[in-house]
Amino acid sequence: MPAGSASPAIPLRGLAAGSLTVALATTAHAAAGGGTPSGATAAQLVLLAVVIGALSATISCADRFRVQLALMAAGQVLGHVLLGTVGHHHASAAGPSAAAMVAAHAVAVACGAALIAAAGYLCAAISRAVRTAVAPTPTPVTTAPRAALVAADQPLRSALQLAASMSHRGPPVGAVR
């Protein structure tokens, strides 16, 4: 990639990481019987999505799987803390066990991080191929051929006209003597 140009995948990576983190936390919370968040909790989750997305878009090595995994895992922990403030403590007998929830979170976070990292690499490869395909090819500069100056046995028409236009008439012969 040329120096100074940013990958087109960076804003998409941030958007995907932030929205996937909050969607996963909200879905898991609702599946555990907590319901969907509203009001201040929803606003806090949007703020969490913005923070995770901004970190994913600004950290220089965030296109790596491990970094995405760490960001999304931290987002899940923070999302669980935010959703836990609503009063849902996963104590219902109808919901899944704590081990099953942690395992589901871990698998979902790992899959999401892998998909985001793979999408970043694919976007970089595709954009590089498109840039190469549509790059303007340099065209050689052509100049008009120069006229060759060749000596001719016949005088130019302009020289003949100039010679014919000159007056051969002078003062009368008697006046000069």
Residue 30 · residue 89 · CB < 8 Å: no
- Determine, yes or no, domain membership for 152: no
Residue 48 · residue 40 · CB < 8 Å: no
pLDDT in tens, the chain (177 residues): 444 457 777 888 889 999 999 998 888 888 877 777 888 888 999 999 999 999 988 988 888 889 999 999 999 999 888 888 876 555 555 566 778 888 888 898 999 999 998 988 898 889 889 888 888 888 888 888 887 777 767 767 777 777 777 666 766 666 655
Our count of domains for the chain comes to: 1
Q: How far apart are CA 27 and CA 94, in angstroms?
A: 16
- H/E element holding 112? helix 98-134
The pLDDT, as a whole number, for residue 4 is 46
Domain coverage including residue 42: 9-134
Terminal C-alpha separation, the chain: 94
The pLDDT, as a whole number, for residue 37 is 81
- Determine, yes or no, domain membership for 146: no
- Determine, yes or no, domain membership for 119: yes
Q: Inter-axis angle of helices 9-31 and 40-58, to 10 degrees? A: 150
- Determine, yes or no, domain membership for 143: no
Phi-psi region of 16 (alpha: psi -120 to 50; beta: other; left: phi over 0): alpha
Task: Enumerate long-range contacts of 58-65, CB under 8 Å, 24 or more apart.
Answer: 58/14, 62/13, 62/17, 63/7, 63/9, 63/13, 63/117, 63/120, 63/121, 64/117, 65/113, 65/114, 65/117
The pLDDT, as a whole number, for residue 110 is 92
- Determine, yes or no, domain membership for 68: yes
- Determine, yes or no, domain membership for 33: yes
Residue closest to 111 by CA, chosen among 78, 56, 69, 48: 69
- Determine, yes or no, domain membership for 116: yes
The pLDDT, as a whole number, for residue 83 is 86
Q: How far apart are CA 17 and CA 61, in angstroms?
A: 14
- Determine, yes or no, domain membership for 2: no
The pLDDT, as a whole number, for residue 48 is 92
Q: What tokens does 89 get?
A: 């403590």
Residue closest to 29 by CA, chosen among 70, 79, 78, 99: 79
